[in-house]
Amino acid sequence: MKVLITGAGGQVGRALSMAVWTKGFDVVPRSRQETDITSIRSIASSLDAITPGIIINCAAYTAVDQAQHSPEQARTVNCNAAGYLAKACAGSGIPLVHISTDYVFDGKKNSPYTETDPAAPANVYGESKLEGEERVRACLGAHIIIRTSGVFSGDGNNFVKTMLKLAVQHREIRVVNDQICCPTAAGDIAEAIIRITSAITSSQNAGHWGTYHFCSKPPATWFDFAAAIFGLAGKKNHPVPKLISIRSAEYPSPTQRPPYSALDCSKIAQQFGIDQPYWLDSLGQVIEALTG
Ligand SMILES: NC(=O)c1ccc[n+]([C@@H]2O[C@H](COP(=O)([O-])OP(=O)(O)OC[C@H]3O[C@@H](n4cnc5c(N)ncnc54)[C@H](OP(=O)(O)O)[C@@H]3O)[C@@H](O)[C@H]2O)c1
């Protein structure tokens, strides 16, 4: 079965494209240049050319701060285009795996969010992703929406790469200690998606469609995560700065972020047997790749 991956140039898209897939799947990675999901025509011609059995949408507008100033751009990709993909899947009778975010929540809870907790995004990016989820649900029954959090990898833009870069330029780095999330490696998300894809394409049981949370454990502040990054990077002789713990209010940002966005991942464990990995294990591999 052919698996069309949109947004294959991003962190999760690359991880999925490079992963070892179960036998029987033929992965077709498409970058934005090859399949632009904001173009109905581009989606249609990709479907005609590839005839996939499933689409995995890794394409998104992920510049959270920029989205505050360019809400239309964020909505075009995260909401409208998600709808175009879902409609195209409905028209072709194929399922869609779509990725969403912990930022659909406002972060006012203080225990992990479940899939049934009400969403209330605190910023434009979160709103655009929530609207994207709603479009997918409205257009296509055969969908899986995976909400994840704090994605990192050896590719693209992410917190790990930013920290390592800043450490080369500065002796001190200020990192917020009052936003708790679950950093998650793109490779671990890819593994989860591969397991889900195998399950939904082989099972006759339609009870698995819907929304699932998947992230690593344990929840951590960005300060904790930075400390772990430099703990590992220091062992590889990478420069280690002095880390200064600050409150979000002290950090200049145009964007309100949820103070707490840990996700409860028991539903995905129950339905698909997927356990939460430890982010520290995956971080070790990413630091090794980036500093080795
Ligand atoms: N990054 C995080 O911390 C995080 C946290 C929670 C959830 N998520 C979600 O996880 C998913 C994957 O995130 P990621 O970190 O892998 O994102 P990423 O690295 O920013 O990759 C997104 C990819 O989407 C592509 N793209 C943008 N517009 C497109 C379009 N119109 N058509 C086709 N491709 C397009 C981008 O191409 P260009 O490079 O050409 O722009 C990029 O390759 C997204 O749904 C995101 O919302 C991410």
> What separation, in Å, do the N-terminal and C-terminal C-alpha atoms of the chain show?
36
Separation of CA 11 and ligand 1 centre (Å): 7
Do the bridges between strand 220-221 and strand 180-181 make them parallel or antiparallel, or are there none, so unpaired?
A: antiparallel
Q: Which residues make Cβ contacts (< 8 Å) with residue 38, sequence separation at least 6? A: 76, 77, 80, 81, 84
184 lines ligand 1 (CB under 6 A): no
Q: Which atom of ligand 1 is nearest to the CA of 15?
A: 16
40 pairs with which residues across the strands? none
210 torsion bin: left (phi>0), alpha (psi -120 to 50), beta (else): left
List the one residue out of 228, 227, 218, 230 whose CA is nearest residue 277. Answer: 218
Please give the mean pLDDT across all residues of the chain: 97
pLDDT of 219 > 80? The answer is yes
6 lines ligand 1 (CB under 6 A): yes
59 lines ligand 1 (CB under 6 A): yes
101 lines ligand 1 (CB under 6 A): yes
Q: Which residues make Cβ contacts (< 8 Å) with residue 153, sequence separation at least 6? A: 11, 12, 14, 15, 160, 185, 186, 187, 286
Contact at 8 Å (CB) between 95 and 144?
A: yes
**H-run or E-run covering 29:** strand 26-30
Catalytic (active-site) positions: 125
Encode pLDDT of 112-150 as tens digits.
Answer: 999 999 999 999 999 999 999 999 999 999 999 999 999
Separation of CA 237 and ligand 1 centre (Å): 31
pLDDT of 205 > 70? The answer is no
2-152+182-219+256-278: CATH class: alpha beta
Task: Please give the pLDDT value at position 207.
Answer: 77
282 lines ligand 1 (CB under 6 A): no
Q: Which residue is closest in CA terms to ligand 1's atom 45?
A: 99
pLDDT: which is higher, 99 or 202: 99
Task: Please give the pLDDT value at position 204.
Answer: 61
pLDDT of 206 > 90? The answer is no
Pick from 39-48, 77-86, 201-210: least confident:
201-210
62 lines ligand 1 (CB under 6 A): yes
Q: Which residue is closest in CA terms to ligand 1's atom 24?
A: 59
Encode pLDDT of 6-30 as tens digits.
Answer: 999 999 999 999 999 988 999 999 9
Prediction pTM value = 0.98
Task: Please give the pLDDT value at position 52.
Answer: 98
Separation of CA 13 and ligand 1 centre (Å): 8
pLDDT of 190 > 80? The answer is yes
Task: Please give the pLDDT value at position 209.
Answer: 97
